[in-house]
A and B are shown apart, each in its own frame.
Chain A
Amino acid sequence: MSARRSLTRILVVLTLPLLGACANLPGDRVQGEVAQTVSARVSRPVDWNAGVPEDRAVRQAVRAMLADELSLDEAIAIALVNNREMRARLARAQVARADLIRAGLLDNPVFGLSLLRDDAGTESELSLFEDFLNVVTLSARKKLAATDLERTRLEVAQSALDLIAEVKRAWYALVADRQAIELFVQVTDATEAAAELARRQYQAGNLSLREQALQQSFHAQSSLEAARAEAAFNADREKLNRLLGLWGEDTAWRLPDRLPDVPDRLPPAPQLENKAVDQRLDLAAQRAEVEAVHLALHYTKQTRWLSAFGIGFTVKRDPDGGTARGPELELGLPLFDRGQARIARLEAQLREAESRYAQLAIDVRAEVREAMGRLAAAHDSVRHYREAILPLAERVVEETLKFYNGMLVGVYELLAAKQAQINAARDYIGVWREFWTAWADLERAAGAALAIPAAAGDATSTQSPAARPEDQGQHQHGDSQ
């Protein structure tokens, strides 16, 4: 271009209207598009146009959702608008959008004016020069930028789905923690009662110090476990706070009592693997990447001979008043760089992108199968707990109570049986949580939300008696003492 400066050019105005048309596209249109993509896949409205978390309306909406029990849906909604990393990714999409707009613009024409004064007078030269190489490649660049935007848009949408999955996992973990804490407290109650009983037995002269110490050590141990459970709960709570972008007084939200009921049946998942390949946005993004590189290669091949191409017009006035005018043409000669390096580079990039795409598709299929396997195993475990382990643990307590009634075993054995039942209930919460975690992972792997089959009755509440001791058993003359 430096060569051009010495030339006189004339004005070409034909690019001006184009410039005006593109200049003020709304930057957050891309937000709406990403929102639409995400919304379609999670079957829930997503609205990023409402504004940033610092907006009053958004803050009020978040506060309202935090006021009562924080449901999973609310947690997801809050994370989507409030997670700053998510906002950052949306901004990244807007950057890509700006790049697209930029790509649709021709380079501005260069206007040159020179006034050269000597003894003879003043020689003036006016020139206007436009680099027409970028006019020739305009549509190619626009297509490339559009593909790039598409890729970014998909990546951002996928990251929203990832965020949703992460929020789900964190929320399930936290509710499970909370349920487990209740059971730890129950075990602590049981060991505390036993320790106190042992203390009184010792005072009455009925128990050795050794046996008393044994009961006290059980209690000390269970207290520690309860404290650890509390610590795990607090750590998991902070994880969710981070995901939800909450700080300060906003962190004082409450949780529901229990995890959602596990459906009796698994969702029918035919062809889920193939669907995942269709639906996964990161895969689509990688596909867009392949396409972009492919396009770039295509256009590079088309324009490989064209390294410089400019047209200008110059008006020159001599000091003597003579005027000369004429067009100017500038053309690069492909003597040294005939584009072979650029093409080789893009061809390698294409192979890279294609391999990445193929590997990602394999990964997606494996992820789907793995998540389906985990979900089925967790579902089996949940049923096994409901149908066998929990009823049997309850039966052991019932029968131990009968043995206690017959003075065939002592109260410590009864309490130990109760502890075993509570521990079984705690393990049950583990598989219960694993079911929903696997569910979230399967949805993430499949790239879209799955419909939960309607549960036939609230089986879990009646089948997990240890989790809800007040519902359990019949009071056999319980208050006569």
Chain B
Amino acid sequence: MITRRDLLKTGAALFAGGAVSAAFRPATAAEKASAATRPPLPAPAGVSYAPVVTLNGWTLPWKMEGGVKVFHLVAEPVKREFAPGMIVNCWGYNGSTPGPTIECVEGDRVRILVTNKLPEHTSIHWHGIFLPNGMDGVGGLTQPQIQPGETYVYEFTLRQNGTFMYHPHADEMVQMALGMMGMFIVHPRTPEHPKIDRDYCFILHNFAVHAGTATPDPSVMTDFNMWAFNSRVFPGIDPLVARTGDRVRIRIANLSMHEHPIHIHGTAFEVTGTDAGWIAPSARYKETTLLVPVGNIRVGEFVADAPGDWALHCHKSHHTMNAMGHEVPNMIGVKHDDIARRIRKLVPGYMAMGETGMAEHAAHTAMGHMKLPENTLPMMTGEGPFGPIEMGGMFTVVKVRDAQPPGDYTDPGWYEHPKGTVAWKLEGDIPVPVRQDFKPTPEEDTDQQARSG
């Protein structure tokens, strides 16, 4: 019989000696490699398209069997490194979240085997694809649930081309919250005009991995703390690379609970598609911030005509941050070094934070001055060529280079700016700026006076 005392002893042993549970062990080399962007699979003979590159992901190989492209997806628990220093216990397909991208051509007959290695039943819905009702993958509605250990076969002919997704339609709250998703790209059979040189895709998602934990909390509905492109967060997201003059397509799906305004610097998206296919050229419009609604897909295209390192990120500033508390006392403008010294006598290692903003916090964590909870990324991080980038979550960089070879997706490093094209620090006399002085009306002033009195 286990007594309460034994349990307490076990608890003490658990904490003693810095034992690290499997949930928090560092990623193995294989796990880290699996989160890197893999080169695309070349288009098969007879069709011409720019193969899709899955950001920090990969494309699923297939076999031809009697004129049918056969894919095999395995639904299973996976470990995913969100960024160096944080490994998350996810569910996914074929060893990764998101699962591998399925890439086909319009008119293909596809047969997709789905093996369930999850601890509970599942199903796969092919989001946006027109197919026989019995292939729609809604567990209980259009098919029996796929029980653990079972393999089901989906087979249909792709009558559209465009950008789609796959995800479970069984216990969605848990299975999607843990990262089960993938992209399904269908290229047109005839070559596109204008020709696409680089075709990227990724899925926006949110996770609730509470600080100090490793498993997403599926009971969280809206208050997420990890905002991911393809289950990676900055600084773990690879750059999107282009050669100057390339026509670049970015397909962005959204499986999260929030809409995301994805903003690109240095150019503008031409919005060319949704999860229902392509927008007629006459109806296409341009914007620099592509708002991707929940459960939807947007495709934006641009010509990479400006070399440089251009940010690409969600414009909600808390989506470009990693985990941060929401009940933290506001210390802006509160001078408290002296109190901090007193608190340090009680809690050695305590540092005053927030008085001048949060940037110093990012600097401290970057320098390793402050230990964070296990498996927890700093809320603002990343080091660029000019200093701290102070970002997290849905942030990466589009790197445009004159010399990037066609078909080469490797990171060219930081951009080397031509002389005189970087903002510089003004030395000497600074002109008097025009500014507004705050003059409160007497009635509104009472509260402020009370505080300063």
Interface residues of A (CB under 8 A from B): 186, 189-190, 192-193, 196-197, 200-207, 384, 387-388, 391-392, 395, 397, 399, 401-412, 414-415, 418, 469, 472-481
| Complex-state Cα separation, A91 to B337, whole angstroms | 67
Asked if B378 is at the interface (CB within 8 A of a chain A CB), the reply is: yes
- The 10 closest A-B CB pairs, nearest first, are A476-B349, A405-B370, A408-B325, A206-B330, A410-B329, A477-B369, A204-B333, A406-B372, A388-B12, A410-B328
**Is B358 positioned at the interface, with any CB of A under 8 Å from its CB?**
yes
Q: Does B348 interact with chain A (Cβ within 8 Å)? A: yes
A189 and B349 in contact, given A200-B334, A392-B11 (Cβ under 8 angstroms): no
- B211→A406 contact, CB < 8 A: yes
Q: B102 interface residue, CB < 8 Å from A?
A: no
Contacts of B351 in A (CB 8 A): 405, 477-478, 480-481
Which residues of chain B from 1 to 17 have any CB-CB distance to chain A below 8 Å in the complex? 5, 8-9, 11-12, 15-16
Residue B173, interface by CB 8 Å: no
Q: Mark B338-361, 1 if CB is under 8 A from A, else 0.
A: 011111111111111110001001
Tell me, yes or no, whether B336 is within 8 Å of chain A by CB.
Answer: yes
Contacts of A403 in B (CB 8 A): 211-212, 325, 373
Whether B272 sits at the interface, judged by CB under 8 Å, is: no
A sample of 29 cross-chain residue pairs with beta-carbon separation below 8 angstroms, ordered by A number, consists of: A186-B346, A189-B346, A193-B342, A205-B448, A206-B329, A206-B333, A207-B329, A399-B212, A401-B350, A402-B376, A404-B353, A405-B364, A405-B370, A406-B324, A406-B325, A406-B373, A407-B324, A407-B361, A408-B323, A408-B325, A408-B376, A418-B346, A473-B349, A474-B348, A474-B349, A477-B349, A478-B344, A478-B348, A478-B350
**Contact of A202 with B451 at beta-carbon distance under 8 Å, contacts A397-B347, A401-B347, A407-B379 already known:** yes
Binding site for A on B (CB under 8 A): 5, 8-9, 11-12, 15-16, 211-212, 323-325, 327-337, 339-354, 358, 361, 364-365, 369-373, 376, 378-379, 448, 451-452
Bound state CA distance, A202 and B453, in angstroms? 11
User: Taking A193-B339, A405-B371, A474-B349 as contacts, is the C-beta distance between A201 and B329 under 8 angstroms?
Assistant: yes
Task: Contact check, B349 vs A401: say whether CB atoms are below 8 A apart.
Answer: yes
Q: Which of A196, A204, A387, A391 contacts B332 (CB 8 A)?
A: A204
Contact between B372 and A405, CB atoms less than 8 A apart: yes
Give the CA-CA distance A202 to B331 in the complex, in Å: 10
**Please, which residue of chain A has its CB at the minimum distance from the CB of B373?**
A402
Indicate if the CB atoms of A207 and B325 lie closer than 8 Å.
Answer: no
Q: Kindly list chain A residues whose C-beta atoms are within 8 Å of the C-beta of B328.
A: 407-410
Which residues of chain B are near A391, meaning CB under 8 Å?
12, 15-16
Contact residue among B340, B342, B372 (Cβ-Cβ distance under 8 Å from A189): B342
Q: Give the residues in chain A near B333, CB-CB below 8 Å.
A: 204-206
Contact A404 B12 (CB under 8 A): no
Closest A residue to B338 by beta carbon equals A196
Q: How far is the CA of A133 from the CA of B341 in the complex (A)?
A: 91
Cβ–Cβ < 8 Å partners of B369 in chain A = 476-477, 480
From B335, which residue of chain A is reached at the shortest CB distance? A200
The reply to whether A406 and B349 form a contact with Cβ atoms under 8 Å apart is no
User: Which of A196, A403, A474 has the most C-beta atoms of chain B within 10 angstroms of its own C-beta?
Assistant: A403
What residues of A have a CB within 8 angstroms of the CB of B9 in the complex?
Answer: 387-388
Most buried by A among B336, B348, B376, B378: B348
> B264 CB to closest chain A CB, in angstroms?
29
Whether A407 and B11, one on each chain, are in contact in the complex, defined by CB atoms closer than 8 angstroms, is: no
Q: How far is the CA of A192 from the CA of B349 in the complex (A)?
A: 19
18 additional contacts (CB under 8 A) given A189-B346, A206-B333, A481-B351: A196-B339, A197-B329, A200-B339, A201-B331, A204-B451, A205-B333, A388-B8, A392-B15, A401-B347, A401-B350, A405-B351, A405-B364, A406-B372, A406-B373, A408-B325, A409-B325, A409-B327, A411-B343
Q: Chain A's nearest CB lies how many Å from the CB of B268?
A: 35
Q: How far is the CB of B42 from chain A (nearest CB, A)?
A: 44
Contacts of A418 in B (CB 8 A): 346-347
In the complex, chain A residues whose CB is within 8 Å of the CB of B372: 402, 405-406
Please give the distance in Å from A468's CB to the nearest CB on chain B: 12
Q: Which residues of A contact B332 (CB under 8 A)?
A: 204, 206
Whether A476 lies near B331 (C-beta < 8 A) is no
Q: Residue on A with the closest CB to B329?
A: A410
Contact status B12-A392, CB under 8 Å: yes
Q: In the complex, what residues of A have CB within 8 A of residue B211's CB?
A: 403, 406, 408
CB distance from B92 to the nearest CB of A (A): 27
Contact of B349 among A197, A203, A387, A478 (CB under 8 A): A478
Docked CA distance A200–B330 (Å):
11
Q: How far is the CA of A411 from the CA of B344 in the complex (A)?
A: 11
Closest Cβ–Cβ distance, residue A63 to chain B (whole Å): 38
Say yes or no: A200 contacts B8, CB within 8 Å.
Answer: no
State which of B331, B378, B452 has its C-beta within 8 Å of the C-beta of A406. B378
Q: Distance (Å) between the CB of B449 and the closest chain A CB?
A: 11
CA distance A410 to B332 in the complex (A): 13
**CB–CB B350/A406 < 8 A:** no
Contact between A193 and B8 (Cβ–Cβ < 8 Å)? Answer: no
State the Cβ distance, A136 to closest chain B Cβ, in Å. Answer: 71
Nearest CB of chain A from residue B324's CB, rounded to whole Å: 5
Q: Which residues of B contact A405 (CB under 8 A)?
A: 351, 364-365, 370-372
B16 to chain A: which residues have CB within 8 Å? 391
> Once the chains are docked, how many angstroms separate the CA of A397 from the CA of B361?
20
- Chain B nearest CB from A235 CB (Å) reads 28
A476/B346 in contact, CB under 8 A: no
Which residues of the other chain, A, contact B352 by a CB distance below 8 angstroms? 481
Separation of A406 and B365 alpha carbons in the complex (Å): 8
How far apart sit A201 and B334, CA to CA, in the bound complex (Å)? 6
Cα distance, A196 to B338, chains bound together (Å)? 10
Give the distance in Å from the alpha carbon of A384 to the alpha carbon of B331 in the complex. Answer: 39
Q: From known contacts A406-B372, A412-B329, A472-B348, infer whether A395 and B15 are also in contact, taking CB-CB under 8 Å.
A: yes
